Amino acid sequence: MRIAFQGEPGAYSEAAALKWRPDADVQACPAFEDVFEAVESGRATCGVLPIENSIGGTIHRNYDLLLGHELRIIGEVELPVVHALVALPDTRLADVRTIYSHPQALAQCDRFLRSLSGVEVVATYDTAGSARLISERRLAAGAAIASERAADLFGLQVLKASIQDFADNITRFLVVGRGSATQESLRLPDANKTTIVFALPNEPGSLFKALSVFALRGIDLTKIESRPIPGRPWEYLFYTDLSAGLHEFRTGRALSHLGEFAPSVRVLGSYEAVPRGGPPSE
């Protein structure tokens, strides 16, 4: 099995891919769009995409890409994210004048960054890519926010570990594949979570009616996210996670009920949810 991820070796997305399938081959991709293309073309069995962080919030770009492609969600992974400030060997924290990282990582370490003076913060496309930048360009006054594994891979030292603002910094990743055939080939357990996207007419009570079709059938909504509809100003799509499998009778009835008044309803995937109730596994 080959799993595509966005970023460089040492990226958190790579760690999430290997957590989902430790024996998989992994394929680095420059951008999220390239992950979708790799899976659609068959160069990768599936792809891993970050969708939300417990501190930084939603990665909206990946919701938009899910809508624009025909891949289906076949799994999810939660990964504790521990950021470190890494730099060339023998660099001191006082020597650092520029810090590079992905915008999400920068947001997750805002308190630490604000504690520094005389330091420029530069957003890049990837955490591990930032570590690679420091290593390849030998940036003596530069540092990156990345994982300790990325520091090891690119020959850097850790100036300061665990610099994220909150200890419970967790990113949820979605695993996407080429529809039901992929899901069957991976022999996934019975699905107990379903992600859908729907549109609603702009009229009073429409969202209340939409939510009621699930409440009436005892289906918990673990997430709901609104996104603008391209080309239709001030109209929105609603991405929703249901705590029920698509194969369940109540789910089918709820979606049929929703379809009676929602102009569009699309199932993005049905899959096994990460178990709740305990601390995240390391």
The catalytic residues are 171, 173
- Which amino acid belongs to residue 19? K
- How far from chain centre, in Å, is Cα 112? 23
Q: Cα–Cα distance between 202 and 199 in angstroms, integer? A: 9
144: CB partners within 8 A, 6+ apart: 85, 86, 87, 99, 100, 101, 127, 130, 131, 133, 134, 150, 156
Question: How many C-alpha atoms does 252 have within 13 Å on its Cβ side?
Answer: 3
Tokens of 175: 């695993």
277 φψ region: left (φ > 0), alpha (ψ -120 to 50), beta (else) = left
Contact 56, 83 (CB under 8 A): no
Q: Which residues pair with 26 in a beta bridge?
A: 3
C-alpha dist (Å) from residue 234 to 56, 62, 230: 24, 20, 10
Q: Cα–Cα distance between 149 and 84 in angstroms, integer? A: 10
